[in-house]
C-alpha cells in the first residue's frame, strides 16, 4: 500500500469515522512494514483538509469568551476536541506533503496521527456522555492556517507546528486541568493526563526532526528558529512556558533560555 496515497485519502476524508479508520489502518500498516513510499506524481496544496460540515469555522476573535457555567466547560471541552481533530490532519499533512524524507519520518508522524485520533475519540466520547458532540459549537481555524503557511518547507513546518503550536498545549494543559478539577467535569483531568503524556512525545518528535534538518543543512538551530518565528508569527511567542514539560520534550538548554528571555 502506498503511504502517500492512503495518507491523502485519510487527510481529505470529511467523514470523521472514515478519517479515524484510515488513520488506524495507516498505523497498522506502518508498524507491520506494509507501506511503500514511492512519491505521488503531484503534491497538492491543501487549503481545506477533509473535515465534517460542522463545526462552523469562524475567526478566533469572533468566538465568545467562555464563562464558568457548565456550558462554558462544555465549550472548553469542545475546543480541545477541535484541536485534537485538527491535530490528526496536521500529522497526516506532514506525511503526505514531504515525500523525500527518511522512512522513520513517516513512521513517526503516522504514529502521531494515530494517537491524535485516539485523543479525539476520547474527548468526543466524553462530550457524547454529556449530551453533546463534536460540531455542536463554533470553532476557529488557526491551526490549519499555520500548516498551509509552512507547506513550502519541512524545516519551517517542524519549527512552527510541533515546536510552537503543539508545545503551547504543554504550557496551558496543567492550568486547564486545575479548572476542571473543581468542576463536575473532573473526569477531564485524567483524560488530559493521557493526552499530555502523548503530546510530550509529539513535541519531542518535532524537536528531533527540526534538529535533524538543521544539521543536514548545516544551519544553526536557534537563530533559524528565531528567524522562522519572526517570519511566521511576527510578534514574540506567548508564554509563560511549561519549562519542565518542554525539557521532557527535548528542548535544549539554549532553546529554553531563549524562551525564558521572552
Ligand atoms: Fe493530541
- Examine the pLDDT at 80 and tell me if it is beyond 90: yes
Give dist(CA 207, CA 47) in Å, integer: 25
Give CA 89 to chain center in angstroms. 8
User: What distance in angstroms lies between residue 119's CA and the mean position of ligand 1's atoms?
Assistant: 5
pLDDT tens, position by position, 164-213: 999 999 999 999 999 999 999 999 999 999 999 999 999 999 999 999 99
User: What distance in angstroms lies between residue 258's CA and the mean position of ligand 1's atoms?
Assistant: 26
pLDDT tens, position by position, 11-25: 999 999 999 999 999
Residue 159: other Cβ atoms inside 10 A: 27
Residue 162: other Cβ atoms inside 10 A: 27
Closest residue by Cα to residue 139 from 69, 54, 51: 54
User: What distance in angstroms lies between residue 115's CA and the mean position of ligand 1's atoms?
Assistant: 7
User: What distance in angstroms lies between residue 71's CA and the mean position of ligand 1's atoms?
Assistant: 23
User: What distance in angstroms lies between residue 117's CA and the mean position of ligand 1's atoms?
Assistant: 8
Closest residue by Cα to residue 140 from 233, 54, 63: 63
User: What distance in angstroms lies between residue 106's CA and the mean position of ligand 1's atoms?
Assistant: 17
pLDDT tens, position by position, 92-121: 999 999 999 999 999 999 999 999 999 999
Residue 36 per-residue DSSP state: B
Detail the DSSP E strand segments found in the chain.
57-58, 139-140
The pTM of this model reads 0.96
**pLDDT score at 63:** 65
Helix (H, G, I), strand (E, B), or coil: what is residue 252? coil
CATH number of the domain located at residue range(s) 67-261 in this protein: 1.20.1260.10
User: What distance in angstroms lies between residue 113's CA and the mean position of ligand 1's atoms?
Assistant: 9
User: What distance in angstroms lies between residue 41's CA and the mean position of ligand 1's atoms?
Assistant: 31
Count the alpha carbons within 13 Å of 84 in the hemisphere toward its beta carbon. 29
User: What distance in angstroms lies between residue 15's CA and the mean position of ligand 1's atoms?
Assistant: 19
Residue 3: other Cβ atoms inside 10 A: 23
Output phi, psi for 64, to 5 deg. Answer: -70, 150
User: What distance in angstroms lies between residue 218's CA and the mean position of ligand 1's atoms?
Assistant: 31
What average pLDDT does this structure show over 129-133?
A: 97
Residue 216: other Cβ atoms inside 10 A: 9
Amino acid at each position: 500500500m502506498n503511504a502517500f496515497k492512503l495518507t491523502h485519502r485519510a487527510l481529505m476524508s470529511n467523514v470523521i469515522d472514515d478519517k479515524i479508520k484510515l488513520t488506524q489502518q495507516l498505523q497498522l500498516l506502518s508498524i507491520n512494514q506494509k507501506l511503500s513510499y514511492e512519491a505521488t506524481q503531484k503534491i497538492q496544496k491543501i487549503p481545506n483538509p477533509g473535515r465534517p460540515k460542522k463545526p462552523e469555522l469562524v475567526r478566533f476573535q469572533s468566538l465568545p469568551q467562555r464563562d464558568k457555567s457548565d456550558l462554558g466547560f462544555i465549550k472548553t471541552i469542545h475546543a480541545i476536541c477541535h484541536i485534537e481533530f485538527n491535530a490528526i490532519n496536521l500529522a497526516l499533512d506532514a506525511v503526505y506533503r514531504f515525500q523525500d524524507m527518511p522512512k522513520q519520518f513517516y513512521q513517526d508522524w503516522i504514529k502521531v496521527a494515530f494517537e491524535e485520533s485516539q485523543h479525539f475519540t476520547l474527548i468526543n466520547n466524553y462530550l457524547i456522555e454529556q449530551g453533546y458532540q463534536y460540531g455542536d459549537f463554533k470553532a476557529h481555524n488557526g491551526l490549519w492556517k499555520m500548516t498551509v503557511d509552512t507547506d513550502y518547507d519541512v524545516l519551517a513546518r517542524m519549527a512552527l507546528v510541533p515546536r510552537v503550536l503543539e508545545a503551547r498545549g504543554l504550557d496551558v494543559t496543567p492550568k486547564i486541568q486545575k479548572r476542571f478539577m473543581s468542576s463536575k467535569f473532573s473526569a477531564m483531568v485524567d483524560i488530559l493526563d493521557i493526552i499530555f503524556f502523548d503530546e510530550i512525545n509529539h513535541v519531542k518528535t518535532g524537536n528531533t526532526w527540526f534538529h535533524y534538518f538543521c544539521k543536514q543543512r548545516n544551519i544553526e538551530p536557534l537563530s533559524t528558529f528565531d528567524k522562522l518565528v519572526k517570519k511566521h508569527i511576527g510578534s514574540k511567542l506567548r508564554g509563560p512556558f511549561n519549562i519542565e514539560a518542554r525539557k521532557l520534550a527535548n528542548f535544549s538548554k539554549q532553546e529554553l533560555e531563549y524562551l525564558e528571555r521572552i
